[in-house]
């Protein structure tokens, strides 16, 4: 599980086997079955950020002893990458004699008008030699013909899974911090896990950032950006547009879906009852749009402004 030559903890401690990945039992069984079969089908892995999609993709390839490459589609999600890097890799023979694999990470950022349609042909053209694993946060941004060519697996964590997953992740954090010879408080780690709800990558990154102090204490919770919803509703009620833009900018480091949900949770306390249905429709509309927009800041600001204009505040 330890990758010695990496400075970043998320890479240094990235699991190398499915059994070491932190997954609900049903997902672990699914991926273990794939490894046990010795054959990999084309996969589409979807779910929230930091929940282990890329880690699982890499672990499967390693356990099946496949030659593999990874493409970050938020940077190289264009047709030229498909025609050059991917074609050159997929068309050549593996040194091990096994099939090859291409991991298309953050595939929801690939071009839906060029790269995605072209990939349909690649999947069929190189079926004898290569498999494709796509990871995404937003499955609705992937065209249907690609979904139908892949086994779709969604990283879902139910309420029943939560306590078991959190306990496993707490043990993983304790292992990391002990290995890095850092002092820590278990209660702080638990609060950190609950705060970021299955975003394992962000928690590990926050711990590494704060580790320069030599001790993981309550200060880490104070330093992490949080969503101050009460302050936002005050600004909306006062119709203070410039302060709303400032609030959005200061809170963009938070998960956008989390911000939408925090606003939703506070509607009953902050809005007149007659405005709540309209507010829910507005939130649903902009949350859906957030899966497609290029600039999340503009989309979130537009949502808040519409709430400000159309809703009555208490």
CA 172 – CA 88 distance, rounded (Å): 38
Question: Both 95 and 168 in a single domain?
Answer: no
pLDDT of residue 251: 82
Instruction: Mark which of 119, 137, 154 sits at the end of a domain.
Output: 154
Question: Both 129 and 236 in a single domain?
Answer: no
**Given 3-state DSSP classes, what are the helix, strand and coil percentages for the chain, each rounded to the nearest 5?**
60, 10, 30
Question: Both 276 and 248 in a single domain?
Answer: yes
Distances from the Cα of 190 to the Cαs of 69, 203, 243, in angstroms?
Answer: 35, 11, 33
CB 275 within 8 A of CB 307: no
Other CB atoms within 10 A of residue 254 CB: 16
Question: Both 189 and 104 in a single domain?
Answer: no
Enter the pTM of the model: 0.75
The number of folded domains in the chain is 3
Question: Both 235 and 168 in a single domain?
Answer: no
pLDDT digits (tens, 9 = 90+) for 99-118: 899 999 999 989 888 999 99
Question: Both 212 and 197 in a single domain?
Answer: yes
pLDDT of residue 280: 95
pLDDT of residue 227: 67
CATH classification of the domain holding 180: 1.10.8.60
Other CB atoms within 10 A of residue 42 CB: 18
Q: What does the angle CA 97 – CA 103 – CA 108 come to, to the nearest 5 degrees?
A: 155
Question: Both 238 and 282 in a single domain?
Answer: yes
Q: Which residues of the chain have pLDDT under 70?
A: 1-6, 222-227
Q: Is residue 234 part of a domain?
A: yes
Which two structure tokens, joined as six digits, stand for 161? 């899974």
pLDDT digits (tens, 9 = 90+) for 143-192: 999 999 999 999 988 888 888 999 999 999 999 999 999 999 999 999 88
Instruction: Mark which of 203, 223, 243 sits at the end of a domain.
Output: 223
CB 14 within 8 A of CB 176: no
Crossing angle for the helix pair 256-265 and 296-310, nearest 10 degrees?
A: 10
Question: Both 212 and 245 in a single domain?
Answer: no
CA 172 – CA 286 distance, rounded (Å): 36
Question: Both 31 and 150 in a single domain?
Answer: yes
Range of the domain at 272: 229-310
């Amino acid at each position: 599980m330890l990758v010695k030559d990496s400075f970043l903890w998320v890479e240094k401690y990235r699991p190398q086997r499915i059994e070491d990945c932190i997954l609900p039992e049903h997902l672990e069984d699914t991926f273990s079955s794939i490894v046990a079969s010795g054959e990999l089908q084309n996969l589409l892995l979807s779910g929230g950020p930091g929940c282990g999609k890329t880690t699982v993709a890499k672990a499967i390839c390693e356990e099946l002893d496949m030659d593999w490459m990874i493409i970050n589609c938020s940077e190289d999600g264009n047709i030229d990458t498909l025609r050059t890097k991917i074609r050159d890799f997929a068309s050549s023979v593996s040194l091990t004699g096994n099939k090859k694999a291409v991991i298309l990470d953050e595939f929801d950022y690939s071009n839906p008008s060029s790269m995605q349609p072209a990939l349909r042909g690649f999947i069929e053209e190189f079926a004898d030699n290569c498999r494709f694993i796509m990871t995404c946060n937003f499955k609705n941004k992937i065209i249907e013909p690609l979904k139908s060519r892949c086994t779709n697996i969604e990283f879902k964590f139910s309420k029943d899974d939560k306590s078991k997953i959190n306990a496993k992740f707490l043990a993983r954090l304790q292992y990391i911090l002990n290995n890095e010879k850092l002092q820590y408080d278990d209660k702080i780690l638990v609060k950190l896990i609950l705060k970021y709800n299955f975003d394992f990558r962000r928690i590990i990154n926050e711990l590494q950032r704060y580790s320069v102090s030599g001790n993981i204490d309550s200060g880490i919770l104070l330093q992490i950006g949080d969503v101050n919803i009460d302050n936002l509703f005050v600004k909306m009620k006062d119709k203070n547009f410039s302060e709303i833009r400032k609030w959005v900018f200061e809170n963009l480091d938070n998960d956008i879906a989390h911000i939408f949900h925090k606003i939703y949770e506070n509607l009953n306390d902050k809005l007149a009852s007659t405005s709540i249905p309209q507010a829910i429709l507005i939130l649903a509309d902009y949350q859906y749009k957030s899966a497609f927009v290029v600039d999340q800041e503009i989309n979130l600001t537009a949502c808040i402004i519409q709430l400000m204009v159309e809703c009555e505040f208490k």
